[in-house]
Structure formats: C-alpha cells, structure tokens
Amino acid sequence: MPHPAIARDKAAVITGAASGIGKATAARLASLGMRVYMLDLPGRPLDAAREEVAGHAAETDHVIALPCDVSDEAEMRGTAQRVNAVSTAPSFLMNNAVTRVGGGIWNPAADWHKAVDVNLWGVVNGVRCFVPSMIEAGAKAHVVNVGSKQGITNPPGNTAYNVTKAAVKAYSEGLQHDLRNTPGCRVSAHLLIPGWTTTGDREHKPGAWLPDQVVDHMLAGLEAGDFYILCPDGETTPEMDRKRILWGAGDITENRPPLSRWDPAYKAAYNAFEP
Ligand SMILES: NC(=O)c1ccc[n+]([C@@H]2O[C@H](COP(=O)([O-])OP(=O)(O)OC[C@H]3O[C@@H](n4cnc5c(N)ncnc54)[C@H](O)[C@@H]3O)[C@@H](O)[C@H]2O)c1
C-alpha cells in the first residue's frame, strides 16, 4: 500500500538538506519520485548536495535547492511562498537544520543566541511558514522535527544544544496536540530522535549509524504512526535508551540531584540500573 504523504509527485521540504541526515532524506524522497525542496545556507555545499540528490531522481528538475537561513522568519516565509507558488502544499516537512555552536553555561551569549535561533527558531519558523498551507490543503502530511537524545537526558557538555533540543521536544509535543485537535486536519507532527550518526566529513566509526539507516527508521516510524521516532545505533540499544530516559525522569520522581547519571555518588546505583 503506497504511503499517502510519501508519494510520487508530492512535495517535500527539508531544512539542513546539504549534509547528513537531511541530505540522505532528500535523496531517498527524490528516489521515490517526490518533488524535493532542499533548504540550507547559500553556498557550494548546497549546490553540490543538489547535484548529488538530483542523481537519485528520475526527473532532475524535481530537486530544487533553496538557499534559506532557517533562523530568519522573513527568509523562511519568502521560501514558503516560492514553494507554494509552484507546488501544491508540501506533504512532508522536515525541520532538521542544526548548528553545533552553543556550548557550556559560560559560553558567550552570542553562541547561545545562535543555538536558539537556528535549532529552535528554525523549527518554529518552518512550522509557522509551511504548516498552515499543509492543513488547508486537506491532504495527509507529516511534519518531522529533529530532536536529540541530548534534549531528553541532558548530558554534560554542550548545554546550549541540549536546551534547544529539549525545547524542540516540548514544542513538537505541543504541536502534535494542537494538530490532532484541529478539526479536519490531516497533518501529523513527529519527533525524530537520531542516535549517534556519522554526518558531514566526520570519519565513520564502528557503533555509529549511517544517515540512510536513520531514514529507514524514520520512514518505518511514520508508517507505524509513531510520534517519537527514537533511533538506536550500533552502540545503544532501544533497551539502553529506555533505561537512560527513565533514569533521567527518575531524578525528579526519586528526588535525586539533576544529571545524577554523571554524579559519582550515584555511579553504583546507575550501573545497577543499566548494567
Ligand atoms: N549526527 C548525529 O549523530 C545526530 C544525533 C542526534 C541528533 N541529530 C540531529 O539530526 C539533525 C541532522 O544532523 P546532521 O548531523 O545530519 O547535521 P549536519 O551538521 O550534517 O547538517 C546540518 C545542516 O544544517 C545546515 N544549517 C546550519 N545552520 C543553518 C541555518 N541557519 N539555516 C539553514 N541551514 C542551516 C548546515 O549548513 C548543514 O548542511 C540535527 O537536527 C541534529 O541535531 C544528529
């Protein structure tokens, strides 16, 4: 049974499509005959990615690169107008673009603003600029917002990134609640939570997944109607993820200190919990 939203001649919009998981998603959807709009910052990487992705499409002009800074609402709105002028409303929107700028508590405020502007506002702008027309079209459609396990378990290190991904989780949950309570709406929101995935020019290490594996898992999750599309990887099993998420929630319900998983006083207890 063909999927109603992931189908030939339907339109897909993917942000951060010049690299990694976004590019792999663009290539897969192009190979399925979708009209794919690849949004990313202007420049050679976007142009090169479009060429590469077009190689997967039967009709190369169905793969369109649209330079767009997702943190800029006016740019995103203009981009949505361009898409809607030539296509029916997208049946697939993936808010995937990310910056790793951010860092720890005392990193410069500018880095924190950048993290929030791209990783959170990029998602909010994508939803506000594209989703109303997707609802109005009345057809089955998906919004996939890309989160992270770091937005759930909050490991020490890049706290700014964790904060933005926690916000994307909360935002996406609220979005899906809103969509399912909108009369006649056939658009559903989903939170894709990749595991460790080799992207960009990073060396592929054993234990990491490749972007294509994330795409496989995402498409299976959409098919199953899952909201939380939680990816394992070669190192972390679904059971390990389950334990880590439960332990993090337990910091509150068991009145432990925050991030107790990384507190030496709780090392033995944690190791007993997730052997
Ligand atoms: N790779 C992993 O291990 C991993 C793990 C968990 C979650 N994720 C999430 O998956 C998603 C994709 O990650 P990836 O590793 O494939 O990313 P990546 O770094 O390979 O690509 C991100 C893309 O976003 C683009 N981008 C950055 N700022 C932008 C802006 N302002 N406007 C438009 N585009 C912009 C970049 O140019 C780049 O092409 C991200 O949301 C990331 O947080 C990745």
Please write the tens of the pLDDT for every residue from 207-257: 999 999 999 999 999 999 999 999 999 999 999 999 999 999 999 999 999
| pLDDT in the model for residue 250 | 98
Q: Ligand 1, closest atom to CA 165?
A: 43
Where does CATH 3.40.50.720 sit in the chain? Answer: 11-235
| 273 alpha carbon – ligand 1 mean position (Å) | 32
Look at the domain 11-235 and name its fold: Rossmann fold (3.40.50)
> How does strand 11-15 pair with strand 35-40?
parallel
Q: For residues 228 and 202, what is the distance between their CA atoms, to the nearest angstrom?
A: 27
The answer, yes or no, to whether residue 2 has pLDDT greater than 90, is no
DSSP string, 90-110: PSEEEE--------STTS-HH
Question: Token digits for 132?
Answer: 């109303």
Q: Give the binding-site residues of ligand 1, using a 6 Å CB cut-off.
A: 15-16, 18-22, 40-41, 69-71, 96-99, 118, 146, 148, 194, 196-197, 199-200
Mutational test site, ligand 1, from 199, 205, 210, 228, max ligand atoms within 8 Å of CB:
199
Specify the residue for token string 């609402």: 73
Q: Whose CA is nearest to atom 42 of ligand 1?
A: 98
Q: Is there a contact between 241 and 232 (Cβ–Cβ < 8 Å)?
A: yes
Specify the residue for token string 């109607």: 225
| 255 alpha carbon – ligand 1 mean position (Å) | 35
**Core vs surface per residue 146-155: b (16+ CB within 10 A) or e:** bbbbbbbbbe
**Is there a catalytic annotation at residue 266?**
no
Q: Whose CA is nearest to atom 34 of ligand 1?
A: 40
Average pLDDT rounded to a whole number, residues 258-264 = 98
Residues 6 or more apart whose Cβ sits within 8 Å of residue 39:
13, 14, 15, 16, 17, 66, 67, 68, 70, 79, 97
Nearest to 35 by CA among 67, 68, 59, 4: 59
Give the pTM: 0.98
CA atoms within 13 A on the CB side of 172: 33
| 181 alpha carbon – ligand 1 mean position (Å) | 30
Tens of pLDDT along 75-99? 999 999 999 999 889 999 999 999 9
Average pLDDT rounded to a whole number, residues 48-68 = 97
| pLDDT in the model for residue 258 | 98
Question: Token digits for 115?
Answer: 């993290």
| pLDDT in the model for residue 52 | 98
Q: Is there a contact between 26 and 17 (Cβ–Cβ < 8 Å)?
A: yes
Q: Ligand 1, closest atom to CA 18?
A: 39
